[in-house]
Amino acid sequence: MRSTFFGLEMSLRALLAQQQALETTAHNVANANTSGYTRQVAVLQTTLPHSDAALNRPVAPGQYGTGVSVTEFRRLRDTFLDSQVRAQLARQAGQQARSNTLEQVELVLNEPQDTGLHAVLNRFWGSWQEVAVNPESYAGRQSLLQNASSLATALNETDRMLADLETQTDTQLTLAVGEANSLAGRIAKLNVAIGDNAVADLTSNDLMDERDRLLDELAALGDVTVATDSSGRVTVMLAGKAVVDPSAAGGTNALVAADVTGTAPSSGKLRALYDLRNDVLPGYRGRLDTLASGIANAVNAQHAAGVDQNGAAGGAFFSGSTAATLAVAVSDPRLVAASSSGAPGDGSNALAVARIQDQAVVAGARPGDYYRALVADIGVAARDARQAGANATALADALRNRRESVSGVSLDEEMANMVRFQQAYAAAGRLLSTMDQMLDDLINRMGR
């Protein structure tokens, strides 16, 4: 038969369950603006009924309920949305890193400006034309050497700044690897705490929230794969390495720069920095070298075919064969081989040099056209990176908003829950008072 105090126990369970649900609502409200917080709910479930069918059980119409209890405090989290958000965060970070670097490349070229390489190149060719018109002018020859020196200096400085960008990108890659290891270490520590709580049959919702926030940060560095074991600990793969591994010493395997290769990771900031350092920036420097060597070789060959003011054959006009090493080899204006015959007033060789600008001497293209194509390619790449970055950001925001609709705190919903649980708590309290009054009548009055 039922215990005399059975109703009190059921009322107490109801009070405790509604109180825990109300406290969970309060926790949600308190963290409505906490970054990375996941909304929690107290899962209510009926307790085991009394009694099970058996031969030694009293005859009764059937099982009767014993009340309610909170079985768990559940985080409302969608793992599929998490994976989508993290994949998009990797794309967003990669495009942003690429866009930032390409914008700096555009600033290095400084086109179209009067101080840009294109304007310097035009002044160089124009100086040869002026010498061709007045080959006896010392001032014209001096101006030619100055403009040639400006061209060499412009190529030197452009290459140097691109080399500096390579170095900066390499430094960023090293820092990003260090950041990944730092995040992995923090995730590993949370793994330990979450696993210990699981052994004690305790929930770790807030610790899991912090771990998910760190996983989002790690995902921006490269595409990550997350696997969760039965104790709630995670194993995280990045660039083909288990950077977080509960079975490893310390729970992590350190990522090194050599782990970032031409194939892994496939996206993220690490991927973008690797491509910029190894392919994009060296490619632009290589094309600048092609421009410098093409101009130098063509000018040197034509200059050697001429005669200077001393009647000697012209030597090399430029020294060096790359953008970094190009320099003017002629120091005396009288040694400019402007003449083809050596006759006074003959500037035909200078004119021939000036006409090189219209010849396909740089990788099958005219020097100006080749450089304009380089500038255009950089501009298009920078524009595409900006557009891709904007698109990736918009999609990442949309996915985050979608995840927030599942995991975020809605104050309107929490207020409704608060009223619902408060009313249920009040009803349970009224039931407890009623049961207490009934027992008081039974014990203190029926014996009289």
3-state SS of 103-134 is HHHHHHHCCCCCCCHHHHHHHHHHHHHHHHHC
User: Domain for residue 70, yes or no?
Assistant: yes
pLDDT score of 447 more than 80:
no
55 vs 87: CA distance, rounded Å: 60
What is the predicted pLDDT for the residue at 133? Answer: 95
CA distance 29 to 26: 5
- From residue 326, alpha-carbon distances to 27, 35, 150, 293, 322 in Å are 68, 54, 11, 8, 6
Residues 76-91: pLDDT tens digits? 999 999 999 999 999 9
136 domain residue, yes or no: no
Label residue 4 by pLDDT band (50, 70, 90): low
| Side-chain-facing half-sphere of 123: CA atoms under 13 Å | 19
- Split at pLDDT 50, 70, 90, the class of 206 is very high
Q: Which of 126, 163, 149, 445 is nearest to 281 (CA)?
A: 163
Q: Is residue 427 domain-resident?
A: yes
Mean pLDDT of the chain: 93
Which pLDDT band holds residue 448 (cuts at 50, 70, 90)? Answer: low
The pLDDT, as a whole number, for residue 427 is: 94
- Element counts in the chain: helices (H) and strands (E): 10, 7
Q: What is the number of other CB atoms lying within 10 angstroms of the CB of residue 272? A: 28
Which pLDDT score is estimated for 64?
Answer: 75
pLDDT digits 0-9 by tens, 320-357 = 989 999 999 999 999 999 999 889 899 999 999 999 99
| 69 occurs within a structural domain | yes
Q: Which two tokens stand for residue 385?
A: 């990176």
The CA–CA distances, whole Å, from 417 to 25, 94, 412, 430 equal 7, 42, 9, 20
- Answer whether residue 370 is part of any domain: no
pLDDT of 230 reads 92
For the four alpha carbons of 208, 209, 215 and 219, in that order, the dihedral sign comes to positive
Please check whether residue 276 lies inside any domain of the structure.
no
pLDDT digits (tens, 9 = 90+) for 229-245: 999 999 999 999 999 99
pLDDT at residue 60, rounded to an integer: 62
In a domain, 379, yes or no: no
What domain count does the chain have? Answer: 1
Is it the case that residue 65 has pLDDT exceeding 70? yes
Predicted confidence (pLDDT) at residue 170 exceeds the cutoff of 90 = yes
Question: For 262-275, how does the pLDDT look when each residue is reduced to its tens digit (9 = 90+)?
Answer: 999 999 999 999 99
Mean pLDDT of 292-305: 97
Distance, CA of 197 to CA of 325 (rounded, Å) = 64
| 48 domain residue, yes or no | yes
Give dist(CA 36, CA 39) in Å, integer: 10
- The reported pLDDT for the residue numbered 443 is 79
What's the average model confidence in pLDDT over 127-153? 96
Phi-psi domain of 390 (left: phi exceeds 0; alpha: psi -120 through 50; beta: other): alpha
**Which domain, by its residues, includes 25?**
6-76+409-444
